[in-house]
Amino acid sequence: MTIVSGKRILVTGGTGSFGKAFVRRVLDDNEISEVVVYSRDELKQFEMAELFKDEKLTFVLGDVRDYERLRKASVGIDIIVHAAAMKQIPSSERNPIEAIKTNVLGANNILSVAQENDISKVIALSTDKAANPANLYGATKLCSDKLIVNGNNANGNRKTKLSVVRYGNVLGSRGSVIPYFLERAKSGKIPITDVRMTRFWLTINDGVQFVLSSLQRMQGGEIFVPKIPSFKIIDVAEVVCPGIPIEIIGIRPGEKLHEVMITEDDSHHTFEFENHFAIVSPELPIRVNFDQTSSKVNEGFRYSSDLNPFWHTHESFRELLVKHKLII
């Protein structure tokens, strides 16, 4: 992890599922200088401090909506990993302006303080729901992605490089479907919206590694998308809660039958590597020779969970859950 050696990293939303896993991973690198967790929940910060007890870990209370607080917290920082977001779809639909303030205006604050403080690299976490969004959460994350990627245009002579990581459902994260299924199994039925529904799946450790790898290779202006397996939601239920009856409840407002991470419109600017894709802003020059390390995808290419060539089997999915202690 030479990318973090000797660096000071600020992680927004650092007390969340990704944040804690990321912090744990980078603290294992003895050469890192400092990790600053920036978040707004003092109880979660206290609990995380008790869990980690590391002198290289600093906690700062603050909200990404608060520009001045964020500016002060990021003075002297080398890298920002922006993981703070309002993520729950129903909450975003009911409280749209709150989602916009956190996900859109918060991302703009990240961009502004990074340029003002001459921070070397910014990588923002996105979601499959930002590609051709069907709900407000996805729409706000698409706006966030555009702000971060196109922030490279306004850099002038500044050194700041900004990129985005976009991936699918994280196994075992807060609010994920697996603990939900386990809880609903107690009632005797598992609710499934549609038997055809598919999703992308990756572990939180894989997500952390992808962010670190993307920090290493980023030139500024890319949206990095990992190649990860698909699996049907109904198959997830059968693996997690075998023998529990299924109840079909229909697709909810703002929900997609299949998740998309790269749309047909993005295909014009997407390059395929061995283990990932990179969507490159057409307004930015390509600063590396992509032709020697990748191939441009065909026009009309679409990377979606139903068309994915990589699929979990019941056995591989069960092994993954057992390995990460999500089921016994």
Tokens 């700062």 appear where? Answer: 60
- Which residues are registered as beta bridge partners of 191? 247
Q: Which of 110, 160, 166, 179 is nearest to 138 (CA)?
A: 166
- Asked if 256 is an active-site residue, the reply is no
DSSP assignment of 253-287 equals TT--SB-EEE-TGGGGGEEE-SSEEEEE-TTS---
Could you tell me the sign of the dihedral formed by the alpha carbons of 168, 143, 218, 118, in that order? Answer: negative
| Contacts for 295 with CB less than 8 Å, ≥ 6 apart | 271, 272
Question: How far apart are the C-alpha atoms of 68 and 17, rounded to whole Å?
Answer: 26
Asked if 106 contacts 64 with a C-beta cutoff of 8 angstroms, the reply is yes
Question: Active site residue: 129, 141, 232, 256, which one?
Answer: 129
Question: How far apart are the C-alpha atoms of 111 and 108, rounded to whole Å?
Answer: 5
Q: Which of 217, 231, 224 is nearest to 288 (CA)?
A: 217
Residue type, 247: E
Half-sphere exposure of 25 (CA within 13 A, CB side): 23
Strands 161-165, 57-61: pairing is unpaired
Catalytically active residues are 129
